[in-house]
């Protein structure tokens, strides 16, 4: 990715995504996770303290080496075993039906082919497995959306390919999931263009392509 993407951006993500204001959302999205979990876009492991004890192990998928290094303390202090198991959510190195649950937090904005990644997540989930997500994306209000479209080109350049206008729920259902819980809200303390969040749980329907 180059100097900025490899050596600067993971620190920025660690600081910005590590704000206290995000913690209630992390706690909420991790609630109900159990068994073997795959987390795509693991970053610096900011969800690790929120994994419930019912989680047996986590396979972390993260391309940034520095992100994984910044996660070291959280990983070593975790009672849940966490291993770096993959580099790219778009091509997961796991057999079909491997995991009980998947986790994605503020990652679907950045993965270049997010539909490919969601299809991969569905493939590696066991029947009945769930995807827990909290993601920022296209705002519910037209006025905010206009600004998101204006700012998106700059955001993509400074924030490692982060999109502001991805329609999160549509992308998830378009990849063959059924959403069973969904809360759409603006994050407190964040400008609406960056903080239009969708938090929920989706069930992978087998056999849908
Ligand atoms: C905004 S950060 C969020 C990090 C973390 N999920 C969190 O909540 O703090 C987006 C993350 O997606 C990762 N990412 C980018 N492309 C990816 C890909 N193709 N597969 C998996 N993760 C990717 C980035 O390296 C980064 O760590």
pLDDT at position 38 is: 98
Residues in the ligand 1 pocket, defined by CB under 6 Å: 13, 17, 40-41, 43, 46, 61-64, 67, 88-90, 105-107, 110-111
Residue 29 is predicted with a pLDDT of 98
> What gap in Å lies between CA 199 and CA 28, rounded to an integer?
9
The model's pTM is: 0.97
Task: Compute the distance from residue 107 Cα to the ligand 1 centre, in Å.
Answer: 5
**E strand or H helix at 97, and its extent?**
none
Ligand 1 centroid from CA 2, angstroms: 16
CB 45 within 8 A of CB 93: no
Predicted local confidence at residue 5, as pLDDT: 82
Identify the pLDDT of residue 1.
63
100 closest CA partner among 67, 64, 59, 139: 59
pLDDT at 13: 86
Give the DSSP per-residue string, 33-78. Answer: --EEEEEES-TT-TTGGG--TTEEEEEEE-S-HHHHHHTHHHHHH-
Ligand 1 mean position, distance from CA 110 (Å) = 7
Give the per-residue pLDDT at 2: 81
**Residue 4's pLDDT is what?**
80
Q: What angle do CA 116, 67, 61 make, to 5 degrees?
A: 30
CA distance 177 to 179: 6
Query: What are the residue ranges in the chain where pLDDT is below 50?
Result: none
CB 155 within 8 A of CB 98: no
Residue 12 is predicted with a pLDDT of 87
**Residue written as token pair 């047996």:** 56
Cα 80 from Cα 84, distance rounded (Å): 13
């Amino acid at each position: 990715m180059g100097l900025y993407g490899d050596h600067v951006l993971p620190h920025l993500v660690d600081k910005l995504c590590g704000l206290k204001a995000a913690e209630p959302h992390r706690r909420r999205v991790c609630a109900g996770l159990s068994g073997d979990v795959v987390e795509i876009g693991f970053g610096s492991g900011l969800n690790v303290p929120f994994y419930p004890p019912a989680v047996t192990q986590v396979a972390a998928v993260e391309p940034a080496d520095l992100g994984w290094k910044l996660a070291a303390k959280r990983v070593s202090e975790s009672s849940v075993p966490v291993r770096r198991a993959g580099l790219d959510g778009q091509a997961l190195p796991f057999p079909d039906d491997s995991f009980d649950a998947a986790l994605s937090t503020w990652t679907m904005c950045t993965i270049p082919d997010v539909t490919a990644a969601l299809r991969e997540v569905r493939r590696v989930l066991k029947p009945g497995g769930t995807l827990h997500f909290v993601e920022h994306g296209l705002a519910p209000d037209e006025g905010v959306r206009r600004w998101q479209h204006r700012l998106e080109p700059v955001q993509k350049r400074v924030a490692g390919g982060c999109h502001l206008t991805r329609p999160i729920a549509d992308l998830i259902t378009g990849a063959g999931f059924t959403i069973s819980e969904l809360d759409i809200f603006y994050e407190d303390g964040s400008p609406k263009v960056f903080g239009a969040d969708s938090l929920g749980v989706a069930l992978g329907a087998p056999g849908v392509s």
